């Protein structure tokens, strides 16, 4: 048995131990047990219990689990009929429901742990509880969940447990979790005053001044590189009539994720009509103009392409757009900046001839390498192929997938990338870019998608060299993906301590006393003139208190100025993350240091005076 199979077997078996422990603690008559699968770092089990499980219960449950393991009970598997299964679990509503959903002829397997606990399960499992003697485990948390993920069904309690083959691996994982929690963007974002949320706009971030500077710096960095590759930026309407999405196919495939604005009914004078309950009256659907906040930019790019006659000489035509998008998410799916309802995306839609596909995607990979390497990030590519609800001709899909495979084979070698069968967009296959952070976690941010369908739907044409009209191919491309998601990832990757060129505030200026404010202002004026982002504290308070406050925002350089600095036109510099201070650095030399790091997009701070 390989390691993955072993982890699955013993973690799944441990979930049965957890269920048995909970039943013994709360009493069988008080417990309805639902499902208990293994997950990446352990397992969980869902229960309906007479009271809420709290952290004070964790030790009691863990001790009971250890006690059960020490009993060295045999595990017995039996195959039973559907009728026998319903009888066996007659007092367990969730097990009965699972069994009732099975075909009548299907045989069911159940596992006994000792003589007094049985669970509905496909297995496989261990043979005796003693096989779990070396397993190291610890309850992670208890939280709410809905039966079958349906918010209209019973609310259950989900107990999560970490489980590893030995104590050392558990310890290493707990250290990893601790470090991940310290890097959590939902904690660091508000702490560093980057962004906030408010209940009046769920899943729609407020960008605070520091965060918006970070946002714009990333955007301008990307824009500068795109200029080198011949991209042209456009801006299209945020609200669009559903007619646009009927043409693109998004209305059929995506309307449940759209923020839809139905038309209100009005009288001849334009006054909104109310129904008998005092609620707004809607126009009949067949008469209404229904609008939606756009969930993606692609249909608008098609409209721009179609707005004038195009020639093969215009291609590739690269239309980029950083526009606000809205996607309707369930409240339980929202997760800081990682899963939001309002976001911006560094979109591009490049229109090409078929003969240009491979060369153009090669250039996109060049651009990707420049962006990710500048941020010190690694990535790998995955190919996602035709989904079940695909649009268009299957042979066109096959051609598109073959083209992307040739590109990936050329870049990574045959077999040097993963294939996700059936995970493509409904209009075309795609390459997803999986980015790795400082903790080794992978995040799907960028994407490159090949699309033969939208040009067909919108009847896009260009004039070929022989004078005939041909249909272009569209390459959808986002490298950051959602700015919000990407920023969440880099907050956690850098632990909020951004490289100098990216830091929201690059330099903090601290005058020692009020009489040094005039020189501090001179320093700030020069920083502004050199496009260096700064903050200054002119308040009449202790210098060390000012420094401490700026350190909380993880600012790369804190510049201290007093009488000597003013007299000699120098600065003294505290360097982030060190106890090091550079004293008496000539001001023009410090400005050169800052310019150098901005120009080079350096990941490291200069920690000595330039020669």
3-class secondary structure for 314-349? HCCEEEEEEEEEECCCCHHHCECCCECCEEEEEEEE
How far from the centroid of its chain's Cα atoms is residue 181's Cα?
A: 16
Band of pLDDT at residue 339, cut at 50, 70 and 90: very high
Mean pLDDT for 108-128 is 92
Tell me how many degrees the CA angle 583-584-585 measures, rounded to the nearest 5. 95
Listing from the earlier edge strand, what are the strands of the sheet with 108-113?
75-80, 108-113, 117-120
Q: What is the three-class DSSP state of 413?
A: coil
**Confidence at residue 401, expressed as pLDDT on a 0 to 100 scale:** 86
**Contact between 214 and 480 (Cβ < 8 Å):** no
Q: Among all residues, which ones are annotated catalytic?
A: 298, 327, 345, 347, 349, 430, 476
pLDDT top residue among 59 and 1: 59
Which residue shows structure tokens 């299964």?
Answer: 85
Band of pLDDT at residue 579, cut at 50, 70 and 90: confident
Give tens-digit pLDDT for 284-293: 776 678 899 9
* Structure tokens, 435: 């980015």
pLDDT above 60 for 422: yes
Mean pLDDT for 26-32 is 95
Give tens-digit pLDDT for 226-257: 999 999 999 999 999 999 999 998 888 888 89
Tell me how many degrees the CA angle 195-201-203 measures, rounded to the nearest 5. 65
**Confidence at residue 306, expressed as pLDDT on a 0 to 100 scale:** 97
pLDDT above 60 for 495: yes
Per cent of the chain over pLDDT 70 is 99
Band of pLDDT at residue 609, cut at 50, 70 and 90: low
Band of pLDDT at residue 459, cut at 50, 70 and 90: very high
**Confidence at residue 610, expressed as pLDDT on a 0 to 100 scale:** 61
Mean pLDDT for 108-129 is 92
Q: What is the pTM of this model?
A: 0.87
Band of pLDDT at residue 413, cut at 50, 70 and 90: confident
Q: Which of 97-101, 278-282, 443-447 has the highest mean pLDDT?
A: 97-101
Per cent of the chain over pLDDT 90 is 73
Band of pLDDT at residue 503, cut at 50, 70 and 90: very high
What residue ranges in 466-549 does DSSP mark as E strands? 469-470, 473-482, 507-511, 534-536
Band of pLDDT at residue 417, cut at 50, 70 and 90: confident
Sorted by sequence, the CB contacts under 8 Å of residue 544 that are 6+ apart come out as none
Q: What is the mean pLDDT of the chain?
A: 92
């Amino acid at each position: 048995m390989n390691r993955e199979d072993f982890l699955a077997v013993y973690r799944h078996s441990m979930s049965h131990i957890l269920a048995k422990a909970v039943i013994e603690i709360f009493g069988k008559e008080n417990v309805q047990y639902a499902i208990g699968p293994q997950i990446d770092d352990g397992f969980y089990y869902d229960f309906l219990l007479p009271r809420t499980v709290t952290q004070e219960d964790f030790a009691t449950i863990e001790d009971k689990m250890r006690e059960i393991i020490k009993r060295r009970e045999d595990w017995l598997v039996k195959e039973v009929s559907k009728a026998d299964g319903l009888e066996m679990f007659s007092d367990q509503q969730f097990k009965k429901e699972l069994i009732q959903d099975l075909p009548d002829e299907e045989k069911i397997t159940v596992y006994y742990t000792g003589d007094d606990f049985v669970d509905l399960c496909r297995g496989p499992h261990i043979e005796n509880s003693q096989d779990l003697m070396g397993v190291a485990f610890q309850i992670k948390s208890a939280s709410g969940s809905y039966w079958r993920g349906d918010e209209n069904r019973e609310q259950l309690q989900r107990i999560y447990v970490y489980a590893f083959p030995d104590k050392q691996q558990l310890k290493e994982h707990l250290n990893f979790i601790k470090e991940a929690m310290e890097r959590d963007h939902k904690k660091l974002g508000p702490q560093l005053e980057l962004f906030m949320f408010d209940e009046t706009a769920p899943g729609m971030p407020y960008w605070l001044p520091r965060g918006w500077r970070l946002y714009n710096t990333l955007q301008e960095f990307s824009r500068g590189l795109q200029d080198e590759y011949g991209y042209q930026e456009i801006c299209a309407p945020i609200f669009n009539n559903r007619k646009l999405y009927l043409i693109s196919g998004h209305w059929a495939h995506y309307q449940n994720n759209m923020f839809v604005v139905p038309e209100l009914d009005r009288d001849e004078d334009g006054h909104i009509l109310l129904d008998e309950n005092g609620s707004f009256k809607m126009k009949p659907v067949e008469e209404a103009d229904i609008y939606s906040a756009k969930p993606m930019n692609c249909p608008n790019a098609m409209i721009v392409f179609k707005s004038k006659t195009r020639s093969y000489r215009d291609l590739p035509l690269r239309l980029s757009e950083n526009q606000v998008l809205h996607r309707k998410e369930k409240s339980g799916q929202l997760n800081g900046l990682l899963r939001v309802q309002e976001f911006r995306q560094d979109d591009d839609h490049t229109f090409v001839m078929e003969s240009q596909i491979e060369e153009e995607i090669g250039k996109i990979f060049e651009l990707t390498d420049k962006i990710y390497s500048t941020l010190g990030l690694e990535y790998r590519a995955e190919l996602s192929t035709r989904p079940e609800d695909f649009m268009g001709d299957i042979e066109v899909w096959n051609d598109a997938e073959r083209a992307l495979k040739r590109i990936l084979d050329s870049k990574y070698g045959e077999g040097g990338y993963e294939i996700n069968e059936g995970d493509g967009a409904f209009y075309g296959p795609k390459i997803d870019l999986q980015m790795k952070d400082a903790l080794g976690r992978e995040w799907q941010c960028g994407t490159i998608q090949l699309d033969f369908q939208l040009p067909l739907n919108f009847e896009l044409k260009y004039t070929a060299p022989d004078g005939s009209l041909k249909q272009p191919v569209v390459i959808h491309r986002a490298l950051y993906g959602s700015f919000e998601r990407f920023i969440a990832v880099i907050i956690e990757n850098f632990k909020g301590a951004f490289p100098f060129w990216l830091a929201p505030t690059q330099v903090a200026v601290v005058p020692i006393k009020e009489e040094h404010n005039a020189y501090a202002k001179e320093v700030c004026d020069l920083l502004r003139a050199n496009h260096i982002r700064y903050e200054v504290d002119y308040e009449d308070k202790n210098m060390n208190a000012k420094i401490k406050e700026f350190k909380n925002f993880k600012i790369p350089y804190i510049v201290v100025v007093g009488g000597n600095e003013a007299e000699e036109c120098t600065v003294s510099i505290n360097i982030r993350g060190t106890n090091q201070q550079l004293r008496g650095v000539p001001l023009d030399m410090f400005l050169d240091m800052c310019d150098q790091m901005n120009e080079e997009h350096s990941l490291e701070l200069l920690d000595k005076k330039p020669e």
